[in-house]
Structure formats: C-alpha cells, structure tokens
C-alpha cells in the first residue's frame, strides 16, 4: 500500500479511536472535576456498559434499546456505589482510591461469575463495508464515531446551558461556596458520578459490535482514560477532548505507519513530558 491510502486508513482509525476515547474519558474527567476523586473503577463501568448491551440486545433483540438501557443500568450501579461506599467515606481522596479499586474487582468478578469468561459479539445494527480501492473499512465504525461525537456535543450543551450543568460547574469551582448558595452538593455529587458512569457505559455499548463484551475489557479503557485525563489536565473537560484527539490520532497514525507498540510508547512519553514540563496538564487549572 502506498502512503496516501495508508494515511487515510491511519486517519480513519485515529478519528474513530479519538472520539470513543473522548466519550470514555469524559466521565472520568467529570467525576474528578466535580467530586475531586479518582475513580479507579471507571473502566469497569465501560465494561458493564458493554455487558449490559450484550444482554439486552440478545434478549430484546434490539441494539438501539440496549444503547438506551446500558447507561441507565450502569448509572444505577454508580448511584448505588456512591450511596453505599463513597458517601460513607466522605469522598476522602485516598480512601476513595482504595474503595474504587475494591469496586473494580467486585464488578469484574461478579461479571466473570455470571456472564462468564467469553468474549461475546453483538451484531451491528447497521452493517456495511466501505470498499476503498485499496482496502475495506467497517461502516459501523464511522457510525460509532458519529454517535460519540453527537453525545460529546450533547454533554457540552448540558453542562453549559442547563441548571444541573450550572450546579456542576459551581461545585467544581468551589464546593463550599456552592453549598452556601443552596446548590444541593450531595445530589450533584451523586448525579456527576452517575452521569460519568453512564457516558462511559454508552461508549462501551457502542463498541460491542466492534470489540465484543469481555470481563477484562475495562482495563485498557481505564488506562487510556487516565492517559487522556492527565494529558488534558485533571478536571478540564476541554482538555480531555483535545487530549483524546491528540492521543487517538497519534495512536492511529503511528500504529498504522510504524508500529502499535511505538504508538503506546509515544502516548506514555507524551504524558511523562507534559507532567515534567507542565504538571497541571495542557488545560488544567492552577493548583488543581
């Protein structure tokens, strides 16, 4: 294959990867921004989204229903975890890390015990193959990219235009001041945690027809989300989006043109470099 088509494939892979990654990482960034906690179980919400999508689409026979149910179920799991665990330890940063590590293992093992160790596929709701002269590409992947993009815009609008978005931004800026202005901080916390989990669950559900649902799939999602969130600046949603694109595109281009291992090296190096030169990340706030 010559350079032109090679580059086209690289850009396609990069764009799809970047958009899905942005949606996955957005939840982690939101939770950190609003609640100031690091959710290590974030990747498991991604995995749960995929598993629920498999269950629903095989029993109800409709992937679209699965796409709606997955974030609701996972959001409910997140609310339960928030009420039963995080709230009880007062959202204390170190304790929440340990608690969410525990949550990670509980979710993973429960899925292994019930759903099993298999990687199970779901038929894509619309499937067509785009036949370029040099290679073919899955049409569904482009739909995934479009859906992820639309959800990102929707989240952006919700955060900047609705009262809930205003509450979240207020809590993020100054929790005590927000409380003094009658923002129901407790409820905002729970909502942020549920919305964060729900967003990543949608990403997980969208990816099932491409990647299959498997109980260990959350680990990679978690790792890449951390890379993106650290690179973009903890708590900055704009940073998360930009970083997801940088990582996604560089991953696509470097892995197609050179090697996938080199792409991972580049991403990790980028994180190291940003941390060394600009500790708060590309768009991080001062003192964050």
Partner 1 sequence: MSESGHETANVSRRNFLRTGGVLALGASLPGPWTARAAAQGGAGPLRLGFQVHRTGIGAVYGRWYDRTTAAAVKLINEKGGIAGRPVEIVAEDDGTDPKRGAEVVEKFATQHKVDFIFGTLFSHVVIASAPRAGELKIPYIVVSEGYHVASGRLNRYVFQPGITDVRAQVTAVAPWILKNLGNKVTLIFPDYAFGHDHRDFFSRVATGQGGAIRALIPIPPTETAFTKYFPRVPADTDVLYHVMVGPGVLTFVKEMGEHFGTKRPQIFGFVDSLEGVDLASPGLEFLEGTYFWEAFPRYTAAGAPAHVRSYRERVGVNDSGASVNDPKDVSTFSHMFGCWETLFVIKRAVEQSGYKKPGPADYKAFVETLEGFQSFAEGAEHPQGPKKFVGRLHQVFGQQVISKVDKRRFTVVHRTAIEDSMYPPEADYTKQPL
Return residues touching partner 1 (CB under 8 A).
1, 6, 9-10, 13, 17, 109, 112, 116-124, 127, 129, 131, 135-138, 209-212, 214-217, 220, 252, 255-256, 260-261
- CB nearer partner 1, residue 33 or residue 43: 43
Closest CA to 107 of 139, 126, 81, 85: 81
Question: At closest approach, how far in Å is the CB of 14 from partner 1?
Answer: 10
Question: At closest approach, how far in Å is the CB of 49 from partner 1?
Answer: 15
Question: At closest approach, how far in Å is the CB of 6 from partner 1?
Answer: 6
Question: At closest approach, how far in Å is the CB of 2 from partner 1?
Answer: 10
- CB nearer partner 1, residue 68 or residue 216: 216
- CB nearer partner 1, residue 35 or residue 51: 51
Question: At closest approach, how far in Å is the CB of 269 from partner 1?
Answer: 17
Q: Which two tokens stand for residue 243?
A: 């970083």
Question: At closest approach, how far in Å is the CB of 136 from partner 1?
Answer: 4
Task: Write the DSSP string, 53-108.
Answer: HHHHHHHT--HHHHHHHHHHHHHHHHHHHIIIIITTTTT-HHHHHHHHHHHHHHHH
- CB nearer partner 1, residue 82 or residue 251: 251
Q: Which two tokens stand for residue 153?
A: 């815009």
- CB nearer partner 1, residue 122 or residue 188: 122
- CB nearer partner 1, residue 118 or residue 181: 118
Nearby residues of 157 by Cβ (< 8 Å), 6 or more positions away: none
């Amino acid at each position: 294959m010559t350079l032109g088509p090679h580059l086209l494939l690289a850009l396609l892979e990069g764009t799809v990867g970047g958009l899905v990654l942005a949606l996955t990482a957005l939840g982690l960034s939101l939770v950190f921004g609003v609640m100031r906690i690091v959710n290590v179980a974030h990747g498991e919400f991604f995995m749960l989204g995929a598993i629920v999508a498999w269950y629903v689409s095989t029993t109800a026979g409709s992937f679209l229903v699965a796409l709606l149910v997955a974030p609701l179920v996972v959001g409910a799991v997140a609310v339960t975890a928030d009420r039963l665990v995080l709230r009880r330890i007062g959202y204390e940063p170190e304790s929440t890390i340990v608690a969410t590590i525990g949550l990670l293992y509980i979710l993973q093992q429960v899925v292994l015990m019930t759903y099993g160790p298999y990687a199970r596929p779901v038929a894509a709701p619309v499937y067509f193959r785009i036949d370029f002269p040099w290679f073919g590409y899955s049409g569904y992947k482009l739909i995934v990219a479009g859906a992820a993009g639309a959800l990102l815009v929707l989240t952006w609008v919700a955060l900047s235009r609705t009262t809930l978005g205003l509450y979240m931004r207020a809590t993020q800026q100054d929790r005590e001041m927000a409380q003094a202005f009658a923002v129901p901080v407790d409820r905002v916390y729970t909502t942020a945690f549920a919305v964060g989990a729900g967003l990543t669950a949608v990403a997980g559900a969208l990816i099932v027809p491409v990647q299959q649902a498997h109980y260990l799939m959350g680990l990679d999602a978690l790792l890449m989300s951390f890379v993106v969130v650290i690179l973009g600046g903890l708590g900055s949603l704009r940073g998360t989006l930009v970083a997801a694109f940088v990582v996604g595109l560089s991953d696509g281009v470097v892995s197609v043109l050179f090697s996938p291992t080199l792409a991972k090296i580049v991403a990790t190096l980028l994180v190291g470099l940003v941390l060394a030169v600009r500790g708060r990340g590309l768009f991080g706030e001062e003192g964050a």
